Amino acid sequence: MKDESRDDLIDVNALFLGPKSENRDFFMQMLRFIMNDHADWRICYQPDDSPAFSEAQRSEPRFQATLQRTQQALVELAGRLQLSSVPWFSPRYLGHMNADTLMAANLAYMLTLLYNPNNCAYEGSPATTAMEIEVGRQLARLLGYHPDRAWGHVTSGGTVANYEGLWVARNLKSVPLAVREAVPELVTGRTEWQLLNFSAEQSLDLLDRVKAAGQMDAVRARSARGTGVTAGKLGKILVPQTKHYSWTKAADILGLGQDNLVFIRVDDRFRLDVQHLRETILRLAAEHTPILAVVAVVGTTEEGAIDPVHEVIRLRQELAAQGIWFYLHVDAAYGGYARAMILGADDQPIDLAELPAAFRRHHVFSEPLDWPDPDIYAAFRAMAEADSITIDPHKMGYIPYAAGAVVLKDRRVLELISYFAAYVFEKSEDNPMLLGSYIMEGSKSGAAVASVWTAHQLVPLNITGYGRIIGSSIEGAHRFHDALRTTPPYDFHSRRFRVHPLVRPDFNMVDFAFHEEGNPSLAAMNELNVRLWEKCSYKSGRMYSEDFITSKTALSREEYGESPCRFVRSLGIPEAEWDRLGSVYVLRSCVLTPYLVHQTSFVEYWGNFLRSMSRALQAVV
């Protein structure tokens, strides 16, 4: 990452196949090159081995028929894909967290697929296991961790990464109690409450002493992995109301129970309400209920909101003085790569005051943009203090599925989830990177890892690389938001409709709703937006013929408390309507495409959007 040429700016236009297959020739040329490279590799292995079959066998009718059937199967697949796939590649697609993926990542995936490495064990993947270790270090650096002390690896997705973070938190929480049973002299004088409030560092230092005493296996056997969970004993898991549903699944799967999830309110920008977090923790502590973990989200699934991680860290420091400690996992599945926006070409954080100049110097935005606000900036900086982080290459890394990742701040926790006996774990020459033994998954695709690794070779994880792609996406989202906010109303049959963005985006997701001027009914407004969504989504039939594709979300009291009420009131709908209905539908657009920044293309697509929404409105009202 350090060589000079890497500071050269990449050209975003040259990174993707493109909405009109603009880079098709290059793509095909590279594809030929890599496929021939692989085919030659086979031929050159043991050159004197005979072919598996003769030319005569090739001309047998059954051989030809099998090739023909292969072709038929591919034609059928190609047809099905063309008919019912989602045109992520187009700037007209503004729905979920999808866009075109990097050519380099796709080509790397395709090539590596033919070598078919399995990163479960080094023996099956000498090349790509090494790449996974590198990627883990790169992501650690991106997130502000020390690459030598942290540990990161690729998972099949953010859900599994979240499980792994909570798995570590659970087993770590059980350590001091396990030490009390197995080697009580190491924790003499400590109350149970103190043991349940050991910091990660305290617990891991304690484990170092346990290891020195030769009691590691005894302690592991008495930790949650050995004894199993006793429901509630290890405390509550605090997650913001904006939570991804993977947390509900995680509490189930890890045996902790959904009863032990506590939901923390979000503010009217849909960010974690740290005051409510503080009150909740103090209330639980007063009942002597420990906190197993707190989850903060960097890029919520439905709003793209960025929780104030820095305030959570400050709260943790404050509470530590009162003998209360909690594990912090940051779910940055969506927003994690955006930390590249605040890192300079040397991968070091840039001060907030210097960011605008750095953005200009590296052409991050095509025109000045007031982003990030100080809270977002501080949240990104503070991620480095979290105990573990989920970050998905297959979201803002512009990598094809399936590639999530989890990064743990202190790699010593691995011994708590490792399959191996403690002594094996240390002898790495006996066990050269048997990844499957200290991650949740087993067999895993080396091709997915090679895809991420190649993308990282090409696109630096700082302002000169991903910062530029993600910057384009953030700029596009803000342009879209501003255009929504200022566009004139639609008038039909003496009815007037306006579009209202939910909030100014923290990141690159824009939620918005159409509303008829003077309509006092939240139910009517909800129905309008659901019907619009039905016109501009997979619901409306073949997506391929859609003018514009979006997604939707319902902000309900059950999930969001009273946070959506301000938006409802701002539309002139009486608060009583919200009280009664408790749910507001909004359309939801993730602007991952990097193509909405140039004045010309934004104007073209914005015009398309207006016409398309106008047609949709006319059709539904």
What is the per-residue binding string for a copy of itself in 583-612, x denoting contact by CB under 8 A?
------------x----xx--x---x----
User: Which region among 99-107, 184-192, 369-377, 575-583 touches a copy of itself (by CB under 8 A)?
Assistant: 99-107
Instruction: Let me know if 327 is a catalytic residue.
Output: no
User: Which region among 225-233, 366-374, 487-495, 568-576 touches a copy of itself (by CB under 8 A)?
Assistant: 225-233
228 binds a copy of itself (CB under 8 A): yes
- The answer to whether residues 416 and 178 touch, using CB atoms and an 8 Å cutoff, is no
Task: State the nearest-atom distance from the C-beta of 318 to a copy of itself, in Å.
Answer: 29
Binding residue (CB under 8 A) for a copy of itself from 1, 7, 31, 482: 31
Task: State the nearest-atom distance from the C-beta of 558 to a copy of itself, in Å.
Answer: 10
The token pair that represents 269 in the structure block: 């920008």
The token pair that represents 256 in the structure block: 């902790």
- The answer to whether residues 250 and 333 touch, using CB atoms and an 8 Å cutoff, is no
Rounded (5°) CA angle 392-394-399: 135
| CB closer to a copy of itself, 98 vs 145 | 98
Residue 607, judged by CB atoms within 10 A of its CB (0-12, 13-18, 19+), counts as exposed
- Which of 109, 423, 490, 544 is the catalytic position? 423
| CB closer to a copy of itself, 508 vs 537 | 537
The dihedral through the CA atoms of 158, 164, 167, 168 has a sign that is negative
User: Which region among 105-113, 311-319, 348-356, 513-521 touches a copy of itself (by CB under 8 A)?
Assistant: 105-113
Binding residue (CB under 8 A) for a copy of itself from 117, 240, 299, 397: 117
89 binds a copy of itself (CB under 8 A): yes
Query: Using alpha carbons only, how large is the chain's radius of gyration in Å?
Result: 26
Binding residue (CB under 8 A) for a copy of itself from 138, 143, 159, 470: 159
Residue 226, judged by CB atoms within 10 A of its CB (0-12, 13-18, 19+), counts as middle
Helix (H, G, I), strand (E, B) or coil at 440: coil
User: Which region among 139-147, 432-440, 469-477, 579-587 touches a copy of itself (by CB under 8 A)?
Assistant: 432-440
| CB closer to a copy of itself, 171 vs 567 | 171
Binding residue (CB under 8 A) for a copy of itself from 21, 191, 275, 348: 21
Within residues 515-574, the interface with a copy of itself by CB under 8 A covers: 537-538, 543-544, 547, 551
State the DSSP code for 498. E
> What distance in Å separates the CA atoms of residue 453 and residue 464, rounded to the nearest whole number?
17
620 binds a copy of itself (CB under 8 A): no
Size of the site for a copy of itself (CB under 8 A): 168
What is the per-residue binding string for a copy of itself in 53-72, x denoting contact by CB under 8 A?
x---xx-x-xxxxxx-xxx-
Q: In 258-353, where does DSSP find H-type helix?
A: 274-286, 309-320
176 binds a copy of itself (CB under 8 A): no
What is the per-residue binding string for a copy of itself in 446-465, x denoting contact by CB under 8 A?
xxx-x--xx--xx-------
| CB closer to a copy of itself, 50 vs 188 | 50
| HEC per residue, 309-327 | HHHHHHHHHHHHCCCCCCE
Bin 18: left if φ > 0, else alpha if -120 < ψ < 50, else beta: left
Binding residue (CB under 8 A) for a copy of itself from 52, 56, 286, 321: 52
367 binds a copy of itself (CB under 8 A): no
Rounded (5°) CA angle 232-235-241: 105
Task: State the nearest-atom distance from the C-beta of 385 to a copy of itself, in Å.
Answer: 26
84 binds a copy of itself (CB under 8 A): yes
423 binds a copy of itself (CB under 8 A): no
> What distance in Å separates the CA atoms of residue 450 and residue 282, rounded to the nearest whole number?
46
Task: State the nearest-atom distance from the C-beta of 421 to a copy of itself, in Å.
Answer: 10
* In the block, residue with structure tokens 């594990």: 327
User: Which region among 157-165, 184-192, 304-312, 364-372 touches a copy of itself (by CB under 8 A)?
Assistant: 157-165
φ, ψ for residue 375 (rounded to 5)? -70, -40
What is the per-residue binding string for a copy of itself in 287-316, x denoting contact by CB under 8 A?
------------------------------
| CB closer to a copy of itself, 509 vs 568 | 509
260 binds a copy of itself (CB under 8 A): yes
Q: In 327-393, where does DSSP find H-type helix?
A: 355-361, 374-382
| CB closer to a copy of itself, 373 vs 430 | 430
| HEC per residue, 584-611 | EEEEEEECCCCCCCCHHHHHHHHHHHHH
The token pair that represents 585 in the structure block: 């539908």
Kindly give, in sequence order, each residue whose CB lies less than 8 Å from that of residue 331, ignoring residues fewer than 6 positions away: 158, 162, 165, 244, 295, 296, 297, 298, 389, 390
402 binds a copy of itself (CB under 8 A): yes
Task: State the nearest-atom distance from the C-beta of 419 to a copy of itself, in Å.
Answer: 5
Task: State the nearest-atom distance from the C-beta of 106 to a copy of itself, in Å.
Answer: 6
Task: State the nearest-atom distance from the C-beta of 231 to a copy of itself, in Å.
Answer: 3
33 binds a copy of itself (CB under 8 A): yes
Strand residues in 136-186 grouped as ranges (E): 151-155
Kindly give, in sequence order, each residue whose CB lies less than 8 Å from that of residue 443, ignoring residues fewer than 6 positions away: 118, 120, 436
Active site residues: 423
